[in-house]
Amino acid sequence: MLSRTADCLYWMARYTERAENTARMIDVNHQTSLLPQPAEFLEQSWKKLLTISKLEEVFLRKYDVINRENVLDFMIYETSNPSSIVSCLFAARENARVIRSKITSEVWETQNTTWLELQRILEARNQADPSRLLEWVKHRCHLFRGVLYGTMLKNEAFYFISVGTLLERADNTARILETKYEDQDTLKVFTPKKGSEDGADGKFFDFYHWAALLRSVSAFEIYRQIYSDQVTPKQVAQLLIFNKQMPRSLVCCINELIPLMSELKNQQSKEIERLLGKLKAGLDYSDIDEVFEQGLEEFIEAFLERINHIADEFSNAYLIPLAVA
């Protein structure tokens, strides 16, 4: 397969997954922003949304104030933001258009229809309900994935799409976990102490903070099935890092990447397999107590560095170098 073809398949998948992940994060932040809470924490929550994607600097070039309206506009509609939903869906559709002969007509029509329907939504953006729009984005991305699995041959094209999806998903889950866990410090400042008059409200708000994190990766019901008790930071981290059955956990993404690399083996893939094997071994022979002893933030930063290094090595081995693209 030509590198340009593989590149388009890979980035079509990454941009679609990124659009869905962005919609999830915005929707959860929007819903929790409607809860009674201090204005300082509300501002921090919108700022954290930019921090997850490393977009705060880009945002401040265009907007003077970090608030709900500006962040929603930037993360959904702003074309100068490469990670906005509009930018991601456009890039996914353009990559799909270039390699139409390598995907089924159903996959192409799903991507193209999503973009055409988005144009109608953009015409009425001032009247658009953010929650309905974000649900629509998630639905279209789910539809793309379902059509992909239901109509594509399990060949090289499918494998490149799968690698792109899993690398993007692992990166996103790690970033959400790191950023939301950092919010604990803010919660400790604004949440009333036990025994105070507002203690019950503080406990209520703390629950919704962690429930929001789980919902941003479609894991709230899964958490309840497994733990069926109070939502705690340690159990949330356990689920999103180590649970092999959780589709968006770090372990699950790495476990699914390894057999894909054996299907795409070439002269340059040995290093990628080695890096993935080391990362898998580190996860397999670690546990949540060790992670918290080391520091969750440090653990996630190390994971992000390693998964992004793997993505760079994959690009160098199979895709068009970014400098050329």
* Range 221-250 average pLDDT: 90
Identify the pLDDT of residue 164. Answer: 97
From CA 181, how far away is CA 237, in angstroms rounded? 9
The residue range of the domain holding 47 is 3-318
Q: Are 134 and 140 in contact (CB under 8 A)?
A: no
Does 324 fall in a domain?
no
Task: Report the pLDDT value the prediction gives residue 321, as an integer from 0 to 100.
Answer: 66
pTM over 0.75: yes
Summarised one tens digit per residue, pLDDT across range 54-77 is: 888 899 999 998 888 899 999 999
One DSSP character per residue, 11-76 reads: HHHHHHHHHHHHHHHHHHHHHHHTS---HHHHHHHHHHHHHHTT-HHHHHHH-SS-SHHHHHHHHH
Taking every pair of C-alpha atoms in the chain, what is the biggest distance, in angstroms? Answer: 66
Q: What is the pLDDT of residues 146-180, one digit of tens each?
A: 999 999 999 999 999 999 999 999 999 998 888 76
Total domains in the fold of the chain: 1
Residue type, 305: E
**Average pLDDT score over the chain:** 86
Quickly tell me which residue has 């002269």 as its tokens.
Answer: 267
How far apart (Å, rounded) are the C-alpha atoms in residues 6 and 15? 14
Split at pLDDT 50, 70, 90, the class of 307 is very high
CA distance 162 to 149: 10
- Measured between alpha carbons, how far is 40 from 66 in angstroms, rounded to an integer? 11
Place of tokens 């962040």: 71
Token pair 């604990």 in the structure block, residue:
184
277 in any annotated domain: yes
Residue 110 resides in a domain = yes
